[in-house]
Structures are given as C-alpha cells and as structure tokens.
Structure 1
C-alpha cells in the first residue's frame, strides 16, 4: 500500500470504529504515518475528548489492523490522541467548538490577528478585538474569510 492509500484506509477505519462504539461527538482531524509505521490518529470531540475514549478507539483500531494483517510482521505502532493545544485548527467543526476562546489567526500575508472567536461558518470567522484599557477600551468585531487564513491557533491563557 502507498502512504496515501494507507492513510485513506486508516481514515475509513476510524470512521467505522467511531460509528461502532457510538462516539457520535468524536470526529477525525487528521492521520499521519511516519516511515517507521508509526500511525498517529488525531481526533477531537464536541464535548471534549477523554483519555478513556482514546484508549477505547485505539484498542478497537489496533485489533482490526492486526486481524487484517495490514502490517504482516506486526511492525507498527498506533497512537490515538487529540491534536494538542499547539496544533492549528483544521476543520470548521474545531472552530465552532472553540467559539468563545481567544485565537491567533495568521493571515496568508503573515499578518497576525488576535481576538475572541465569536462565530465560524463555511466562509468566514468573526473575532472580537479590544484595544485600549478601562474607559478608553474600544471593542470591535472583525470578519476574516477562510480563504485569507493561513492558520489559526488557540491562545492558551494562564
């Protein structure tokens, strides 16, 4: 199997496993396979992705991969996790899940826009930006077309 064929097969397997275990709010973000046959499956969930769900999905997938002898010598590893806070958002569903959170959007021209994510639909996102402090604070909303976005990351506040 080629790398692309293997990724497509893994993606199909993920969807099959998710429907089988009735994880309706869990969705596939991406699949990566390293040359060492290290399969990384990144999932997210509308209500948050627990470690227990990841373990359950990992075990179900591992069993099917072994039973179907995708790697006859057994030389593979499988990791199922959420993308992590440092990974950019990839899907509209991720944007919708993160409404209300602070984001940093890098535009195609490398300009960065930061603000609170208010809305997301198929064409655009809307963020709220505040400039100034106290009585001089001004709050604006800004629409940004998805076609203008290079990447969006969640800003983690401590």
Structure 2
C-alpha cells in the first residue's frame, strides 16, 4: 500500500467536495494499516472545511478505496482529517486560508518572529509583526506554524470601545 497510489484514487474524489489533498500517510497499526488522508479547503465561510464536509468526503473516499486495488488485500483503517494547527504552512493556500491568524515564522537565515497574517499571494505573505507590516517570501521560510490563541476574538468581532 503506497501513499502515491492512494493519492491518485483519493484526489479526484476530494475535488468533488471542494477539498484539496494535503497529505496521505500510510503506517502500520497492529494487524491493520492506518491510512490517514489530510485535507484542506476553504469551506462555506472561508475558514476551512467543516466536520460535515469531512464526513461526507470520508464516505466517498472509503467507497473509492474499497472499489480500487490500491489498498491490497489487507485490512486498513481510514482516517480523514483537516490540517489542524500542528501542520506547518507550506503552500500559498495555507497562508491565505489562515488570514488573521498568528503564526511563528522561522526563516532560512535563522531569524524567527511571530506575526499576524494580513495577506498572501503566490510568492509571499504579509504579516503584522508588532504593528509593523512585514512581507515574507515563501522561498525564505524554513518553518511556519500557527499559534494557538485561547482568547482570540472571532473574525469580524469588534473591540468593546468600537461598539458605542
């Protein structure tokens, strides 16, 4: 069972649900094999795929894998999940889909900083780093991880002083 072969079966199915294939991982899990399919997408609100989106896609992916021969004769467990915050931002779409999120960036030259994503195009992201706009070329980034903010205000919310 090879991740590349599974990808060729899974990718067209995910496209039907407006989801991008982010990764396929195949790992032994006892007598079975764990097939983990990581997806990404804009979702209806632009904030990523919903649980319902992933559930519907999982049913279709499972049926497609069962109908193909890429999983072989052995038993497997399928897990379909979204990227989550623990996966690094590696593609322009990852940066775009995390607009307004806090990200810790490590550059190839060893520089590290944390800033809020304010924009992204195909070549670079724009971040607010301590009130200063900083444009970062993706080619210069060695690692970028979303930072979990427990007290983060939801998108579009206003500060209390703005409500009057």
Q: Hey, what does 2:101 align to over in structure 1?
A: 101
Distance 1:110 1:126 in 2: 19
CA shift, 1:146, in A, is: 1.1
- In structure 2, distance between residues paired with 1:13 and 1:143: 38
Residue 63 of structure 1 aligns to a residue in which SS? helix
Q: Deviations over 1:21-57 (max 9, x none)?
A: x422x21211111144311111112122122222222
Q: What TM-score comes out, normalization by structure 2 length?
A: 0.77
Which aligned segments of 4 or more residues in structure 1 are displaced greater than 4 angstroms? none
Q: Does 1:84 align with 2:65?
A: no
Contact 1:29 1:91 in 2 (8 A): no
The runs of 5 or more residues in structure 1 that have no matched partner are 131-138
- Which residue of 1 is the match for residue 50 of structure 2? 50
Moved more, 79-88 or 6-15: 6-15
Name stretches of at least 5 consecutive residues in structure 2 with no aligned partner.
151-164
Q: Aligned partners of 1:124 and 1:79: how far apart in 2? A: 32
| 2:4 paired with 1:8 | yes
Q: Aligned partners of 1:157, 1:124: CA distance in 2, in Å?
A: 23
After superposition, what is the alpha-carbon deviation per residue over 1:79-127, rounded to whole angstroms, capped at 9, x for unaligned?
1001221221122111111122211111123321111112212222111
Aligned to 2:146: 154
Indicate conservation of the 8 Å contact 2:125/2:136, yes or no. Answer: yes
Output the TM-score relative to the length of structure 1: 0.80
Alignment coverage as a number of residue pairs: 143
